[in-house]
Amino acid sequence: MGLREQAALDAQAILEDTSSGFGCPFTLTSPLGVAAQRVGFTQDIGQTIDPDTGQAVAGRRASVAVSLRSLPEMPVVTADSDRKPWIVRFLNILGVGTAWKVIEVLPDRALGVVVLLLEVYQQVVVHLSASVLALPRLLLSGSFAPAVALSGALVFPALLLAGELAPAVELGGTLPLPSLQLAGELAPAVELGGTLPLPALQLAGALTPAVDLAGGLVLPSLLLSGELAPAVPLSGALTLPSLQLSGAISPAVTLAGALPLPSLQLAGALTPAVPIAASTLTLPQLQLAGALTPTVPIAASTLTLPSLQLAGALTPAVPIAASTLTLPSLQLAGALTPTVGALAGALVLPSVHLAGTITPTVGTLAGSIVLPSLQLAGTFTVGTSPVSAWLRFASGTVTGHGFSSVPDVLNSNPAVQTVDAARPARVLSANGLPLGDFDGTSGRLQWPLNAAGTGNNGTSATGFMFWLVPDNVTGDQRLITIWIGGSQTDSTRKLIFEKTGAALRLFIRDGAVNPEALTGAVLAIGVPVCVGFEFNGALGTSAAKVVITVNGVAVASTNGAMPTTLTVCAGDLTIGAYGSSLLFDGRMGPNILVLGSAMAGVTSGLLTPAARLALANFEAPT
C-alpha cells in the first residue's frame, strides 16, 4: 500500500471517528430523494473573516468534510434554481437540527476528501406518493405547518416543539409521533385508514385533534396540563391508557368498537357522551378529584367502572338494556347519585366505601340489584346498617406524640386525647393502613357516649368490632370500658371488653352482678386479629345474647347469666385502658366499628355470619 493510499485511509478514519474524535453523523439527500447516512466533520459558524480586509463580518458559514470513499456519488451543483438541490441535515452541539443545501463542492482527490459548502435550506410543502417522509428529532422554536399528502408514512420521532404544530395530514399509511413534548398547541386534522399512535404525549397547551379513522387511535401515557377535547368518530378502537390530566377531558366518541380508558387520573372534569352499540365501555382504576358525569346509553353491552376512587361527584345517567352496570370497589368522598332506568341485566356495586351520600333511583329492574360490603358514612335510603358508630383512624388528627382526635364518621362525636403523652402514636400496618399504637403505659382514647340507646351507647343491643395486634399475651388489659355517669369505679362500670392472657373476656354490669363471657386462647404476639363482641338482650338464652368473634367468626365462650338490657349511662367510653390502669399494649385500628341493632333473622348476637366476615375483611391490616 502506497503512502498516498494510506493517507486517504487515515483521513477517512479521522473524519468518521465519533467515539474519540470529531466525527458527526449527517444525512445527505440527493435531488431524487435518495437519503444516505454518513459521518464527517460538520461546521456551523456564525461569523467569518473578510479575506481582503482580515476583519470579522456578519454571516453564517456551514460545511461538511467527508471522505470520498464514503460518498455514493459526488454532489453536483447547478445554477438552475428550479432543480431540487442536494440537502444535508445534521444536529448542532445543542441537539438542534438544520437543513442545508449544497452550494459548492470542493474535492481533494489526492487525499480522498471532499468539502461541501452549505447554506440554510427551507422546505415548506411536501407531496409524496408511496414513500416515507421521515423527520427524526425535530426541534422547532417557531411554527411548523406542513401540508402533507402521501400514501406511505409520516414519521416525527422525538418531536420537541416550543411553537405550534398544525399539520393537515391525509394519508393511507401510518402517522407515528412518538415522544411528543409540546409547549404550544397541537391541532392536527388527520384522516387516515391506518393508525394514529401518539405515545408518551406530554403537553402543556391543548390537544384538540379531529380524527376520522377506520383503524385505531392510540394515546398511551398521556400527560396533559391543558385540555383534551377530541371528537373521534371511529369504527375501530380508542385506547387512552395511563391518562393523567390536570385540565378537562370532554370526548364525544361514537364508536362500534371499544373505548378503554385504564388508569384515568383526572384533577379536572370527565364528561364523556359515549353512545356504544354491542360493545364495551371500560374505565378501570378511575381516580378523579373533579366530577364524573357520563351519559352512557348502552344496548346489549356492558359499562364497567372498576376501582373508582372519586373525591368529587359521580352522577351517571345510565339506561341499560339486557346488560350489566358494574361499579366494583367504589370509594367516594363526595356524592353518588345514579339514575338507572330500565335494566334487564344487573346493577352491581360491590365494596362501596362512601363518606358522602348514595341515593340510587332504579326503575324497572328485571335482573338484580347487588350492593355487598356497603360501608357508608352518609345516608343510604335502601336499608338500615347495624353499624351505629365508626371510628376511622385514616381520618384522625395527629398532634405531638400521636392521635389527638379520631372521628366518628357516622356521628359528630370523635374519640379524643388531650394529654400528649397519652396519645397513641400513628403507625402503619404492612399493607399501609393507619393504626393507633397503644404503649401499655399511658396510651388511651376517651370517646364521649351518645344519647341513651344510640351510637356507641346501646342498651338492648350493642357490640364492637376492630383489629388489634397484641405486643404481649400476659395479664389483663382493657380494650373497651364503658362507665356509668362518668365515675370510673368498679361499681359504676357498664361493660368491659378485655384481653386476659391470650383469651378474650366480656364483663356486663347487671346491678351488683358482673356476668362474663370468656373464650379460650385466641391471641398471639404480633399477629393481627379482628376481635369483637355482640350483645342482643332480645334473644332467649345467655349463649345467644352474647357472642364473641375472632376474624369474623363466632368462637366458643363460657357465658354467665346475661341481662336483657344494659344500664343507661352518660359519660365517656375508654379505649385501651381501665381508667388509667390495665392499659392495652399493642396496636389497634384502622377502624373501630360499633353495632347498634340486630340484623333480620339472627338467632345469636347481632350479625349474620356473612356480615361478620364482611366487616372483619373491611380494611384488614397485615
Which of the two residues, 106 and 247, has the higher pLDDT score? 106
**E-only strand ranges, 375-515:** 375-376, 387-392, 397-399, 402-406, 415-416, 425-428, 434-439, 445-448, 461-470, 476-483, 493-500, 503-508
Cell numbers 380508542: residue: 238
Task: Please give the CATH architecture assigned to the domain spanning 387-617.
Answer: Sandwich (2.60)
Tens of pLDDT, residue by residue over 402-442, are: 999 999 988 889 999 999 999 999 999 999 999 999 999 99
User: What per-residue confidence (pLDDT) applies to 380?
Assistant: 43
- Quickly count: other Cβ atoms within 10 Å of residue 83's Cβ: 10
Per-residue pLDDT at 39 exceeds 70: yes
d(CA 92, CA 526) in angstroms, rounded, equals 63
- Quickly count: other Cβ atoms within 10 Å of residue 382's Cβ: 11
3-state secondary structure of 89: strand
Per-residue pLDDT at 310 exceeds 60: no
Q: Is 592:394 a contact under the CB 8 Å cutoff?
A: no
Q: Give residue 383's pLDDT band: very low, low, confident or very high (50, 70, 90).
A: very low
Distance of CA 619 to the CA centre of its chain: 19
For the chain, give every domain's residue range. 3-120, 326-336+346-383, 387-617
Tens of pLDDT, residue by residue over 59-111, are: 678 899 999 988 878 898 877 666 788 899 888 887 777 888 999 999 998 88
Tens of pLDDT, residue by residue over 497-531, are: 999 999 999 998 766 677 899 999 999 999 999 99
| Residue 52 grid coordinates | 481582503
Q: Give residue 349's pLDDT band: very low, low, confident or very high (50, 70, 90).
A: low
Which of the two residues, 368 and 130, has the higher pLDDT score? 368
The sign of the dihedral angle between the CA atoms of 458, 462, 467, 473 is positive
Strand-pairing partners, residue 128, are none
Cell numbers 352482678: residue: 513
What average pLDDT score do residues 326-346 get? Answer: 56
Which of the two residues, 595 and 351, has the higher pLDDT score? 595
Q: What is the mean pLDDT of the chain?
A: 74
Per-residue pLDDT at 157 exceeds 90: no
What average pLDDT score do residues 241-258 get? Answer: 59
User: What per-residue confidence (pLDDT) applies to 575?
Assistant: 96
β-strand 331-332 against 572-575: which pairing, if any?
unpaired
Per-residue pLDDT at 26 exceeds 60: yes
**Alpha-helix residue ranges (DSSP H) falling in 480-586:** 542-545
d(CA 416, CA 446) in angstroms, rounded, equals 5
User: What per-residue confidence (pLDDT) applies to 83?
Assistant: 74
Tens of pLDDT, residue by residue over 438-497, are: 999 999 999 998 876 678 888 889 999 999 999 999 999 999 998 765 555 555 557 899
Tens of pLDDT, residue by residue over 551-563, are: 999 999 999 999 9
Per-residue pLDDT at 184 exceeds 70: no
- Of the chain, the percentage scoring pLDDT greater than 90 comes to 32
What average pLDDT score do residues 243-270 get? Answer: 59
| Residue 207 grid coordinates | 390537544
Which of the two residues, 596 and 269, has the higher pLDDT score? 596
d(CA 229, CA 178) in angstroms, rounded, equals 20
User: What per-residue confidence (pLDDT) applies to 128?
Assistant: 42
